[in-house]
Structure 1
Amino acid sequence: MSFINYATREINCKIIYFGPGLSGKTTNIQYIYEQTQPEQRGKLVTLSTENERTLFFDFLPLSIGDVRGFKTRFHLYSIPGQTFYDVSRQFIIKGVDGIVFVADSQPERIEANIESWDSLEKSLDKQGYDIGKVPLVLQYNKRDVPGAISVRELEATFNPTHRPSFEAIANRGVGVMETLQSITQWVIRDLKGGEET
């Protein structure tokens, strides 16, 4: 749920990057941060755990324009993928406006992807969200690995409703900004009541 700051005339939107551990969520956030002009972004905050990092930063894109006279500021979060971080996940998911599900294309990670998707569904349900109604795009990361799971199989498993999906190699920036653009446009469209951006 977006937060409106009347003093700064900004609508603050939360986008989370969700997926199994080491799927590329952090890599996505770091790349976006590096590609965002310093005057348009906040500080990159890193919370390190034993097995994974949670990243957060906010940015104010100049190209999106206003929504009813307000600028839109996006807050991007990566969420720990391991199941034992459920409390952290629930806290971050609360008030979400959009989700990027980052699936790992390595064949040995298919079960981790499925577990993570199920966890996302349960986490959203706990917060009163319907996964079918939340703006959600998919990113199939690590497309450069030998024997990568086919996009057809990933689509059949995670995207039967044909949401926007993107192939990516996040450590090279491939597909990262396209994924971000898709989810931010969807969130903005929802804010505008369904109007095209």
Structure 2
Amino acid sequence: MRNIMLFIAVAVFSLSNVSAQERDKGVIEIIPYLGYSSFFLNGDEVEQLDSRASLSFGVKGDYYFNDRWSLRSGLTYDAMGASVPKSDLKLDYLNIPVNVNWHFGSTRKWNLNFGVTPGFLMKADIDGDDVKDFYKSFQLGISYGIGYKLEISESFSLLFDSQGFFGVTNILEESDNFTRLNAGSNLNIGGVFTF
């Protein structure tokens, strides 16, 4: 029993003394992640549409300008669209977020990010029927989020974050004063590799 208590005390002491998350200029972090997403459509005649839940994944990276600010970008695969009664409108995008990331707290483990996200339509279907011709191949959105890093070692951490997206461009190819925009959010977990 005494050995178990000693082990727990050493483990707690080690975790509490893990070095701060402060980063120097030029440090790069690579973050592969997996998440749960929920997206919906904003705009005209969307009252009968529900959100579409799915998995999202990708790889992001942070380039640090100093210990408080970094530029975050990467490639993300997001399942957007909506659920309609007995079917789903599946709009799958390859997104490229370009966000400014502010690291805060005494050890810089928290972060807020915001910026723009251009997206490219990869797939559009309703119940297996291709409807890609009805949607624009490009969209632009505002992205934002908050996250927390749990440091495991000097070069590896776990990132828990929530990211939001609000489309600002109409996704419909033939709109004629009819607007549809993607919007939604992700809850993610990722591995942070520091170089």
Q: Which has the larger radius of gyration?
A: 2
Bigger helix share = 1
Interval of TM-score (by shorter of Structure 1 and Structure 2) = under 0.3
TM-score (norm 1): 0.27
Bigger strand share = 2
TM-score (norm 2): 0.27
